[in-house]
A and B are shown apart, each in its own frame.
Chain A
Amino acid sequence: MRILVVEDNDLVADAIVRGMTMVGFAVDRAATAEAAGAALAAEHFDLAVLDIGLPGADGLSLLRRIRGSGSTLPVMILTARDTLAVKVEALDLGADDFLMKPFEQAELAARCRALIRRSNLSANGQLSLGRMRIDVTGRQLQIDNAPVDLTGREWLVLECLALHAGRVVSKERLQQAIANWDQVLTPNAVEVYVSRVRTKLGDAAVIRTVRGLGYRLDEPRA
């Protein structure tokens, strides 16, 4: 997977380039919005990591240009400034995620992977999560290339959690996802289905319970 890092600070850029390379990305770096624009026009990238505070044209104007050209390239925004307005503007302009400096290398890598996963999903209906391969359109789950059988409701639970992997999915949302117009669900039906999915996934993924809120599906830590 090829990513473009647009960051003017050499120390930060170098750390990101090295760190992302180490975990398997192919990384290019641009120091200005202009250079980044040229690179994006010339070659294909799976994701751009964009610092807002660039000299000259800033990250937001570059983002505006990217979206203006009709590109759906996943964009991860980095910022050192903590004004809410900037965050809102970035998301409005079509940024896919937002990370505040300083961050941990692992966090950046995980978020970038999630973004690429999501963009692949919309491109070909495939979702890769650690050892799991989920074919959303074909409703197929493979763990280590072996198919796993899921009932209709179990599949809906897994799909909902996997699409938001790493994020908390509320119980109400899951309940809505599995609710059927002809059947009344008992309040703990969600728990029942989640625990069944948990068993079927084994150690390929962790489904954590967030008491009072819902569930979060995580890849097992390497």
Chain B
Amino acid sequence: MSLAPDSATSIRRRLLIFLLPSLAVLMLAGVYTNYRAAMLFVQAAYDRRLADSALALATHIRITDREIHVDAAPQAQPAAGTEHADLPAPFYYSILGPGGRLLAGNPQLPTTQPGSANPTYADVRLATRELRLATYRLPTAGGTVIINVAEASDWRARPGHFILASTWLMDFIQVDVTLLLVWVAVHFGLKPLTAVRRQIEARSARELRPLEVAAVPSEVRPLVDALNLLFEMLSEAARSQRQFVADTAHQLRTPITGLLGHLELLMREPAAVPLQSRLAALHDELTRLAHSANQLLALARADPSANLTDKFESIELKSLVERVIEQHFDRSVEGGIDMGAEAQATRVNGSPRLLEDLLGNLVDNALNYTPKGGRVTVRSGFQDGRPYLEVEDDGPGIPEAERVRVRQRFYRLPGSPGRGCGLGLAIVEEISQLHRGVLTIEAGANARGTRIRVQFPPAGAPAANQPARHRETATSISS
């Protein structure tokens, strides 16, 4: 998983940014209502206990002859059965007879106004203390007796703090677990996308068949459908470009074949003897034209978009070297050049046709620019786990300062002999890039001549190693 969470477009990040504040507000509201609800129950429980104390006090009241007595004046203590015996709450009471006459208890303790309920409760203040007061009205034969019982409010705050703390804790854990679940759910939710990504990554630039849609979730389906549409358009474009190259080849090569054929026949006619040099020049120019057409077509073929549907396959470089040498052997014989091979068997994933163009152009250069008596060696091999193709000659060499420029289209070194049009090394570079190869131009052995090598990515590299061009295309599509 490499969905970078720091990227502004990360789904996780967006979800978190969206969820975190809302979850925080929800958490605050939850804590508040939980606290309030819990406190209501706590208050009710404590109030009932206070009321119990008032009732307990009521048992001390005796009525004789319409006289109201309070038996033994109770201690200022809460009702029996208090759980907090070790933490005695400050406890106050007063018993008032009719007319507000104090019968027992604390004379300063306020009393509440009679309400609908009995007992009634109120928050009062005695000196500096906050108190919770319960007032019980006891109707007797001698009139209504008012029993006031109060305890310090702050004592009640203790369970309140505890409840608050535990609600906070629980809600906090809930939010965390929710966020964690979201994180994990996003991971699993995005799995199908990862599968689609793998499908795309596993392709070479030349594979444009539609993506599998069977396993794609409906949310991602439109994206995959759009991609498939794009793939289809690209294959269509590739098809028409290939068709164009093929048609052009036909349109150019067939008439050139006819012209060359007739010219060769003419040159053999006895009547043409006085015209020999002019006919030879014509023949040269026509050969150059044919060569230029071939080079242009090779360049078009090497264009990454031209061969998009051509499958790359495993190619034996040794037999490629043998084939190319065989194709050029006659020219080496004509040119008096000792051409040979040092071919090690090794394989590369690539297009046979394009690699033949690549090696053919390197050999063509070596034969063109190496003078008679020279030596040209074509190599295939394996270095640092990477297969390579190499052509070395002992000709004039390419000056160090020109080694980048000669790869440009139509660039030739000043004064270069022969029928070249300056496309060979551009074709080589293009095909090399398409195979993720590295093209190096150096001097040959003993600093003489030229050694040009194309080093391919390690053999057995995953199929996902698309040509570099594909990467560029991919980014330009996504941006």
Asked whether, in the complex, the Cβ of A18 is within 8 Å of the Cβ of B265, the reply is yes
Selected interface stretch from B127-135, B321-329, B434-442: B321-329
Asked whether, in the complex, the Cβ of B338 is within 8 Å of the Cβ of A211, the reply is yes
Please name all residues of chain A whose beta carbon is closer than 8 Å to the beta carbon of B377 when the two chains form the complex: 211-212
Asked whether, in the complex, the Cβ of A15 is within 8 Å of the Cβ of B246, the reply is no
**Does A216 count as interface, using CB distance less than 8 angstroms?**
yes
Asked whether, in the complex, the Cβ of A15 is within 8 Å of the Cβ of B322, the reply is no
Asked whether, in the complex, the Cβ of B262 is within 8 Å of the Cβ of A15, the reply is yes
Selected interface stretch from A30-38, A80-88, A196-204: A80-88
Asked whether, in the complex, the Cβ of A82 is within 8 Å of the Cβ of B297, the reply is yes
The verdict on A168 contacting B339 (CB below 8 Å), with A15-B261, A82-B249, A105-B261 known, is no
Chain B contact residues: over half helix, strand or loop, or mixed?
helix
Selected interface stretch from A6-14, A113-121, A148-156, A175-183: A6-14
Chain A contact residues: over half helix, strand or loop, or mixed?
mixed
Interface residues of B (CB under 8 A from A): 242, 246, 249-250, 252-262, 264-265, 268, 290, 297, 301, 310, 322, 325-326, 329, 333, 338-343, 352-353, 377
Asked whether, in the complex, the Cβ of B260 is within 8 Å of the Cβ of A104, the reply is yes
Asked whether, in the complex, the Cβ of A81 is within 8 Å of the Cβ of B249, the reply is yes
A-B contacts, 21 of them at CB < 8 A, read A9-B254, A12-B261, A14-B262, A15-B261, A15-B265, A80-B253, A81-B246, A83-B353, A84-B310, A84-B352, A101-B257, A102-B261, A104-B260, A105-B264, A210-B326, A210-B340, A210-B341, A212-B340, A213-B322, A213-B340, A213-B341
- Nearest chain A residue, comparing its CB with the CB of B310: A84
How far is B260's CA from A15's CA once the two chains are assembled, in angstroms? Answer: 9
Asked whether, in the complex, the Cβ of B257 is within 8 Å of the Cβ of A102, the reply is yes
Please name all residues of chain A whose beta carbon is closer than 8 Å to the beta carbon of B297 when the two chains form the complex: 82
Please name all residues of chain B whose beta carbon is closer than 8 Å to the beta carbon of A22 when the two chains form the complex: 265, 268
- Nearest chain B residue, comparing its CB with the CB of A8: B254
- Nearest chain A residue, comparing its CB with the CB of B357: A82
- Nearest chain B residue, comparing its CB with the CB of A104: B264
Please name all residues of chain B whose beta carbon is closer than 8 Å to the beta carbon of A167 when the two chains form the complex: 326
* Contacting residues of chain A (2-50) with chain B, CB-CB under 8 angstroms: 9-12, 14-16, 18-19, 22
* Contacting residues of chain A (161-179) with chain B, CB-CB under 8 angstroms: 167-168, 170
- Nearest chain A residue, comparing its CB with the CB of B353: A84
The 9 closest A-B pairs by CB, nearest first: A211-B340, A15-B261, A11-B258, A212-B341, A80-B253, A102-B257, A12-B258, A101-B257, A101-B253
Please name all residues of chain B whose beta carbon is closer than 8 Å to the beta carbon of A210 when the two chains form the complex: 325-326, 329, 339-341
- Nearest chain A residue, comparing its CB with the CB of B256: A102
Shortest Cβ distance from residue B247 to the other chain A in the assembled complex, whole angstroms: 8
Asked whether, in the complex, the Cβ of B342 is within 8 Å of the Cβ of A212, the reply is yes
- Nearest chain B residue, comparing its CB with the CB of A15: B261
How far is B242's CA from A25's CA once the two chains are assembled, in angstroms? Answer: 37
The verdict on A212 contacting B262 (CB below 8 Å), with A101-B253, A101-B257 known, is no
Please name all residues of chain B whose beta carbon is closer than 8 Å to the beta carbon of A81 when the two chains form the complex: 246, 249-250
Asked whether, in the complex, the Cβ of A168 is within 8 Å of the Cβ of B257, the reply is no
Asked whether, in the complex, the Cβ of A211 is within 8 Å of the Cβ of B249, the reply is no
Among candidates A19, A83, A100, residue contacting B264 with C-beta atoms closer than 8 Å: A19
**Does A53 count as interface, using CB distance less than 8 angstroms?**
yes
The verdict on A168 contacting B325 (CB below 8 Å), with A81-B249, A105-B264, A212-B341 known, is yes
Asked whether, in the complex, the Cβ of B339 is within 8 Å of the Cβ of A211, the reply is yes
**Does A208 count as interface, using CB distance less than 8 angstroms?**
yes
